Structure 1
């Protein structure tokens, strides 16, 4: 397992200076993200789209940690907190600012060591709802190793409602709460955005082995989304197989098709992260050709 890149701050050095980033920091932030393109794909993608580190362009705040004039770490602050090239030293510098403001973020996501260390320092945030400390970060930079499923394709807007229902089920199963518990509007917008950009893949079926739903026979058999992407990396999220058809070895060929299409249309490297205990999924991704390059963690509040 390889950890790529590092920062310029080490134990014993002066405490990093923390401030919000702006337009003048755009190049420095881009170079920081490039130290680990796979781990930092979320912020890299945002930065590429906005072409600026200004909060009004990025759609969220980024706190930067500086060692002298060098940007040595950054923290995306939005619905999630996503550390970029963080260390215990930069976490110690940024934690007081996070503890001093009301918590609006629901999770911390990123490389395991920095994420778990940061969570320990956020005393004002209360006890996390759950901690997933070992999520292998996988990548595939070539063609899939198995034959793709040709029935998996890009979801069209006409299938929004069917895919939306499957997305809700996937989220409930993965996170343990409903994404529409406080209202549907936000989650519907997110699903619609992914479909509109051609970033959701699915295979549909009219036969779930005797498990039709009232009012509609057409169901999602398999789905996956591109949750984040840059010019070089696309991160797959939201992988789901209908519960009534699991164990039929459908996921590996379906994922192979997602990899094939994603590499053709978006980025040469396809990545994802998976819970360490999900041995079935890990075997599936291994069959497709994914290899572990690092470890993520997710802390949810």
Structure 2
């Protein structure tokens, strides 16, 4: 009967069931699994909804700041699209496995309009072993009193990668809080030279089994010197040392980054798609 009625939000009583399903695809589901592990499915703390059509074993989709399809058939994706179009759009992007995200976007585009950017092929990389590339001993955890200088590098990275200023909407308060929370959690890494960040990365999402690295950036004046490989090797080794799989995803056209990650020993386990919306 539930299938006939379309996608429905799940509730706190479904948390354990959802976690079991996400655990079957731990690398691709890391962003959402980390959120469910931290907050359960209570909408007051989850900051979004988890949808299903027929139960978590058959279909799953997260809807919040991002729209993330996690499991389902074409009919399930159509039910997610129908539900997403019922009210004002909440999300700023779609992201997830390409085989789910691309068809979901095809269903949404007639209502939501053309995307700002479609990144259809993003290799999802992972490793459970220490890097085969020598790590950079000068890359370390960022201290709380280094927030301002680290934030400047994070903003530069975001603008270069996403094409928008993360400080535009609220004067940067939300983005500053996000970066400060990662620093406080021991999940922001950098190499400093003369009081300036020349390499940075964060473990943006961390589930019980996976640490997803994001925001990898090398200062333009220091590129081509191997700092990206060595710095990311340091972060990968830290994630692996914690007993987790180290993961990240990269644009298919970013060949310097792909070569750097290959040198480290990260291997492709899936393909992501990201749809950036205005």
Tell me the TM-score normalised to structure 2 length.
0.95
Residue 120 (structure 1) aligns with: 106
Structure 2 residues without counterparts, runs of 5 or longer: none
Residue 38 (structure 2) aligns with: 49
Work out which of the residue numbers 15, 22, 25 in structure 1 matches 2:14: 25
Q: 1:15 to 1:286 in 2, by over 3 A?
A: farther
Tell me the TM-score normalised to structure 1 length.
0.88
Please list the CA deviations of residues 218-247 of structure 1 after superposition, one character each: whole Å capped at 9, or x if unmatched.
110100001111111000000000001101
Q: 1:32 to 1:17 in 2, by over 3 A?
A: farther
Q: For residues 70 and 145 of structure 1, what CA distance do their matches in structure 2 show? A: 38
Residue 151 (structure 2) aligns with: 164
Whether 1:236 and 2:213 are equivalent positions in the alignment is yes
Q: Give yes or no for contact 1:74–1:84 (8 Å, CA) kept in 2.
A: yes
Work out which of the residue numbers 220, 232, 238 in structure 2 matches 1:255: 232
Once the 2 structures are TM-superposed, how far is the Cα of residue 202 of structure 1 from its aligned partner? 0.4
Residue 103 (structure 1) aligns with: 89
Q: For residues 263 and 55 of structure 1, what CA distance do their matches in structure 2 show? A: 32
The equivalences for 1:144-183 within 5 A come to: 144-182=131-169, 183=171
Q: 1:219 to 1:53 in 2, by over 3 A?
A: same
For these two proteins, the number of residue pairs brought into alignment is 273
Q: Give yes or no for contact 1:29–1:53 (8 Å, CA) kept in 2.
A: no
Does the residue aligned with 1:72 lie in a helix, a strand or coil? Answer: coil
Q: For residues 126 and 70 of structure 1, what CA distance do their matches in structure 2 show? A: 29
Once the 2 structures are TM-superposed, how far is the Cα of residue 150 of structure 1 from its aligned partner? 0.6
Once the 2 structures are TM-superposed, how far is the Cα of residue 16 of structure 1 from its aligned partner? 7.4
Q: Give yes or no for contact 1:20–1:62 (8 Å, CA) kept in 2.
A: yes
Q: Give yes or no for contact 1:108–1:299 (8 Å, CA) kept in 2.
A: yes
Does the residue aligned with 2:204 lie in a helix, a strand or coil? Answer: strand
Comparing 165-174 with 91-100, greater Cα deviation is found at: 91-100
Q: For residues 16 and 299 of structure 1, what CA distance do their matches in structure 2 show? A: 28
Residue 190 (structure 1) aligns with: 178
Residue 7 (structure 1) aligns with: none
> Over aligned residue pairs, what C-alpha RMSD do you find?
1.4
Structure 1 residues without counterparts, runs of 5 or longer: 1-13, 207-217
Q: 1:234 to 1:95 in 2, by over 3 A?
A: same
Work out which of the residue numbers 261, 269, 277 in structure 2 matches 1:293: 269
Greater share of residues in helix: 2
Please list the CA deviations of residues 39-79 of structure 1 after superposition, one character each: whole Å capped at 9, or x if unmatched.
001111111112x222123222111221xx55422211111
Once the 2 structures are TM-superposed, how far is the Cα of residue 99 of structure 1 from its aligned partner? 1.1
Q: 1:103 to 1:158 in 2, by over 3 A?
A: same
Residue 78 (structure 2) aligns with: 92
Q: Which of structures 1 and 2 has the bigger CA Rg?
A: 1
Residue 81 (structure 1) aligns with: 67
Q: For residues 193 and 76 of structure 1, what CA distance do their matches in structure 2 show? A: 23
Residue 58 (structure 2) aligns with: 72
